[in-house]
Amino acid sequence: MRDPNGKPQFAKRSLGQNFLTDVNYIRKIIDAVDPRPEDTIVEIGPGRGALTEHQVESGAAVIAIELDRDLSRMLINRFGNGRFQLLETNVLNLDFRSLWFSQPANAGGAYRKLVANLPYYISTAILQRLAAQREVFSEMVLMFQKEVVDRICAEPGNSDRGFLTVIAEASFEIQKLFNVPPTAFSPRPKVWSSVVRLIPKPKSDLDDEVFVSLVSEAFGQKRKTIFNNLKRTYPDAARRIGLSGIDPKRRAETISLDEWEALFRSFVRS
């Protein structure tokens, strides 16, 4: 791979650059996104354009967000003439709502999809941001390290279940689609990846800082009971957990989304 000046370009580990090269998996992801001319698709980390190419070809409007300056220049050279827009920025500093409403063509309510093959180092932060701003999108097709997808799909009682699982469940319908082997990338990562579809749920009263901090505190030390974790922040934790009808001796990883909702209600009651 060469930059616009003809110099060879190497993948940057610090930016989690593992580029998809296996055409079968590229096709499977594109089939999941199903890009159409009426879509506006936000792509995070387009890299060398493996997924971008098919979205642009479909006639969809594509807004790509890439932090790497060398790749950004290459992408503009390659796709800059069509319905393609590149933002050279850190996605973690981006406000998706203002991005969306700054697009005059979007006022008509076209489909707003998001696609990303995400580096591991930002997966938790980006998922939390996408959950908080999910009303901007109709659906998201995301590839993460498999371990992250196992975590967000973990059922109550599974030790993979954690803070991120509950925030994801409260915010999205989650469909795990398929796994992707290291051989599908260049350079090859050490671990498998997985692709998920996230369909945003409507905003609700769980979109509240108290809910986020309650879940975060309750998972504080995973081997402890919810009471032992929560009593550090909430002096009246025993009474409030009692109001919810949930056994205070349970561990956070055993609690279902409905039960989290009941716990939350008992903690915001006066």
Stretch of residues binding ligand SAM (CB under 6 A), selected from 42-50, 127-135, 156-164, 238-246: 42-50
Nearest residue to ligand SAM by CB is 45
Q: How many CA atoms lie within 13 A of 154 on its CB side?
A: 23
50 scored as a contact of ligand SAM (CB under 6 A): yes
51 scored as a contact of ligand SAM (CB under 6 A): yes
Element (H, E) at 69: helix 69-79
90 scored as a contact of ligand SAM (CB under 6 A): yes
Q: Which parts of 116-135 interact with ligand SAM (CB under 6 A)? A: 117, 119, 122
Nearer Cβ to ligand SAM, position 91 or 136? Answer: 91
In Å, what is the CA distance from 65 to each residue of 75, 106, 136, 184, 196? 11, 17, 16, 22, 20
Q: Which parts of 180-199 interact with ligand SAM (CB under 6 A)? A: none
Stretch of residues binding ligand SAM (CB under 6 A), selected from 16-24, 149-157, 194-202, 259-267: 16-24
Q: The sheet that has 172-180: what strands, in order across it?
A: 84-87, 61-65, 39-44, 111-117, 139-145, 193-200, 172-180
Reduced to 3 DSSP states, what percent helix, strand and coil does the chain have, rounded to the nearest 5? Answer: 45, 20, 35
The two beta strands, 193-200 and 172-180, are antiparallel
d(CA 25, CA 78): 22
Interface residue with ligand SAM, options 60, 91, 110, 149 (CB under 6 A): 91
Q: Which two tokens stand for residue 250?
A: 């349970």
18 scored as a contact of ligand SAM (CB under 6 A): yes
Residue 12, helix vs strand vs coil: coil
17 scored as a contact of ligand SAM (CB under 6 A): yes
16 scored as a contact of ligand SAM (CB under 6 A): yes
In whole angstroms, how large is the CA radius of gyration of the chain?
A: 21
217 scored as a contact of ligand SAM (CB under 6 A): no
165 scored as a contact of ligand SAM (CB under 6 A): no
Q: How far apart are the first and last CA of the chain?
A: 61
162 scored as a contact of ligand SAM (CB under 6 A): no
Stretch of residues binding ligand SAM (CB under 6 A), selected from 41-49, 205-213, 222-230, 243-251: 41-49
Give the interface size with ligand SAM as a residue count (CB under 6 A). 24
**What values do phi and psi take at 125, rounded to 5?**
-60, -40
Nearer Cβ to ligand SAM, position 115 or 263? Answer: 115
Nearer Cβ to ligand SAM, position 90 or 204? Answer: 90
Nearer Cβ to ligand SAM, position 26 or 199? Answer: 26
* Amino acid found at 134: R
- Site residues for ligand SAM per CB under 6 A: 15-20, 44-48, 50-51, 65-68, 71, 90-92, 117, 119, 122
